[in-house]
Amino acid sequence: MLSDPSQKYLPYPDVPPFTRTWPAKRVTKAPIWLSTCLRDGNQALVNPMSNAVKLDFFRTLVACGFKEIEVAYPAASDAEFNFCRTLVETGEIPDDVAIQVITPCRAELIERSVAAVTGAKHAIIHLYNAVSPLFRDVVFRNSPDETADLVVRSVKLVKKLTAAARASTGTKFTLNYCMETFSQTEPEFAVRLANEVLEAWGDATPESKVIFNLAATVECAPPNHYADMVEYFCQNVNQRDSVLVSLHAHNDRGTGVAATELGLLAGGDRVEGCLLGNGERTGNVDLVTLALNMYSQGVSPRLDFSNLSEVVKVVESCTGLSVPDRYPYAGQLVFSAFAGTHQDAIRKGLEKQEKRHARAAETGEKKYWAVPYIPVDPQDLGYSYDNLIRISSQSGKAGAAHLLSQSSLALELPRSMQTAFYGVVQAACDASGKELTMESLLSLFRSTYHLGRGVEFNGRLRLDSFECFPSNARYTRCRVGADLLVDGHVRRIDGEADTPIAALLDALDRHVNLRFGVREQHVQELRSHRFAAFVELAEHSPQATLAKSRGWWGVGMSADVTAAKLRAVISAVNGSVGSKALPPPKLVFRARFEAAVDARLDTPDMHAGAPPEPLPQTHVSTPVVSQF
């Protein structure tokens, strides 16, 4: 037994010395794409697709923009043959789409394959045989010369049959000769075979090229090796300008996409693969990932994945396979961040980008995409931004704040309130161990700040109605009178100060024995002429300064800015009182306030860009129960 079992594997052989140029290149245009979902993908399924399902899939491929589609292995069965005939005879194939069929190098199977597609506008005959030493030795028991002879005979037969079919029906035929196991074949032998094919075919021209499909049938080496093999082939094959070099990678080492991308740098003109990587073993190279990788580099792939979830649905239902949540571009979780620092960066990125795009719209500059952690705009693939940020115990303040700003409440919490509410969110996530959905987040917000209808949201104090009016001739002071429900009992309270908030705090001090100062306040203008006010109250105590004592945030919303502020005060007070005993009502003089409110009495807003207060406003009396 080997002491190191890895020693039983042979490393890939070197490519003969040549000057490689691919590492310094870039992909600047889309290759010709061929989907082999209906052939290489289909032959790998537990239950191959019925012809009705294949037809649905074919239509989806056409809708995605494929101009070359491998539709069958016609010699495999009558069903496969009939599928080709149905496509040809029912006019399913758009004029600009070529169908491809595959055949081994066996005369009777070649005949059947050509017959299957005769009558189509453009058909590609995909002739294949495995050419690596292992296959020559084990499967075919052929020498290199016998292998070359088999290929040449088969090519000549394809030429003869297609010439006759073209003469009778006008079908244009293209030869695609595939060296199965190319990547494990001696590079010089691969070039020899290709040159013999060119000679046997005879009339390859730049206008009518022969395709050489260079298959990494089983991915056995790193992607740079495939690129070297491809570039060596491109540099040495005859009539390069009459040849299309096609890449056909599998994903056994998990690097099918990388191999194809490097293969394109190395000279590949065409790519064969399957949507979402279906195919033998670990699959064919995934055409969605390849195309969208290209797209995210500013190169149009000339394939349409603008409704990617629809494509995923079709592939899943046709193949019976499911796309994993983490799958590039197409997975359910690809455009969702749970981690706090990611969410923070995404939120900042989206905000900054919005401003940049607004500026670009004015200056005519390019509106490029640059959002941390999100390499492509999800909307380009038909997704919304709704799931970009999702809340779990791994999230931070920015995540919850972002969700609230995107919610029906559309609230932009002040920074220190974000931190305060984040503590509540984190405790809830820790307790449940689960994601906090948008609905649960809103419910948590409402119960924390006693907003909205319903017992679960009500606080112990409720502002039923209030009046606010100037209390001196110079408009520098005001009085607030209010009907305050305390534990279900109405108390008439009133207070006086230089702002409505301070006057309400004065009233609370005098009537309910609650002493607070304002640490922060902000106003946000909402849609439909409403305002949200955010107020942080701190306990007034002889022992601590306002800055050092404990604080409570509150939020209030109203069409009236003063009402929003007073509600925010009561919301914060509700947060502070908990189950603390409150003093019984005092008998007070019930004032009747009839004067107008003058907004100039209010303190200047700390919220940047806050709206001006309404001028003058009569007898503000609003039900305290919020409308949301």
Ligand X SMILES: CC(C)C(=O)C(=O)O
The minimum distance between CB 205 and ligand X, in angstroms, equals: 24
- Report in angstroms how near the CB of residue 240 gets to ligand X at its nearest: 21
Q: Where are the beta strands (DSSP E) in 438-573?
A: 461-470, 478-486, 489-497, 516-526, 530-539, 551-558
- Residue 66 Cβ vs ligand X, minimum distance, rounded to whole Å: 16
Q: Which of the ranges 62-70, 100-108, 438-446, 494-502 carries the binding residues for ligand ACO, by CB under 6 A? A: 100-108
Compute CA distances 16 → 13, 228, 234, 464, whole Å: 9, 9, 14, 88
Kindly indicate which of the ranges 102-110, 232-240, 385-393, 573-581 contains the residues binding ligand ACO, using the contact rule CB under 6 A. 102-110
Residue 615, contacted partner among ligand X, ligand ACO, none, CB below 5-8 A by kind: none
Select from 33, 57, 66, 73 the one that contacts ligand ACO (CB under 6 A).
Answer: 73
CA atoms of 393 and 382, how far apart (whole Å): 29
Nearer to ligand ACO, 215 or 557 (CB): 215
Q: Which residues bind ligand X (CB under 6 A)?
A: 40, 128, 178, 180, 213, 215, 217, 248, 250
**Total binding residues toward ligand ACO, as defined by CB under 6 A:** 14
* CA distances from residue 49 to 39, 55, 58, 104 in whole angstroms, order as listed: 10, 10, 12, 21
Provide the pairing of β-strand 551-558 with 596-597. unpaired
Question: Which residues in 106-125 contact ligand ACO (CB under 6 A)?
Answer: 106
What does DSSP assign to residue 33?
E
Q: What are the CA-CA distances from residue 152 to residues 101, 127, 210, 312, 397 (Å)?
A: 19, 11, 14, 41, 69
Query: Choosing among ligand X, ligand ACO, none, which partner's interface includes residue 213 (Cβ < 5 to 8 Å by kind)?
Result: ligand X
Q: Residue 75 binds which one of ligand X, ligand ACO, none, with CB within 5 to 8 A depending on kind? A: ligand ACO
Burial class (CB in 10 A: 0-12, 13-18, 19+), 570: buried
> Can residue 177 be called a binding residue for ligand ACO (CB under 6 A)?
no
Q: How far is the CB of 423 from ligand ACO (least distance, A)?
A: 58
Question: Which of 65, 86, 92, 140 is in the footprint of ligand ACO by CB under 6 A?
Answer: 140
Q: What is the dihedral of CA 430, 431, 434, 438, to 10 degrees?
A: -90
For ligand X, which is the closer residue by CB, 178 or 478?
178
Helix axes 438-449, 415-432, angle to 10 degrees: 120
140 binds, among ligand ACO, ligand X, none (CB under 5 to 8 A by kind): ligand ACO
Among the listed residues 25, 27, 32, 43, the single contact to ligand ACO using CB under 6 A: 43
Q: What dihedral angle (degrees, nearest 10) is formed by the CA atoms of 245, 250, 256, 257?
A: 60
The one of ligand ACO, ligand X, none whose footprint includes residue 418, by CB under 5 to 8 A per kind, is none
The one among 180, 219, 506, 536 contacting ligand ACO by CB under 6 A: 180
Residue of 107, 134, 138, 139 interacting with ligand ACO (CB under 6 A): 139
CB of 250 to ligand X, least distance (A): 6
Q: Which of 496, 493, 444, 449 lies closest to 469, judged by CA?
A: 496
Sequence-separated (6 or more) residues with CB below 8 Å from residue 352: none
Rounded CA separation 418/606 (Å): 16
Residue 302 interacting entry, from ligand ACO, ligand X, none, C-beta within 5 to 8 Å by type: none
Distance between CA 109 and CA 101 in Å, rounded? 11
Residue closer to ligand X (CB basis): 85 or 248: 248
What does the binding site for ligand ACO look like in residue numbers (CB under 6 A)?
40, 43, 73, 75-76, 104-106, 128-129, 139-140, 180, 217
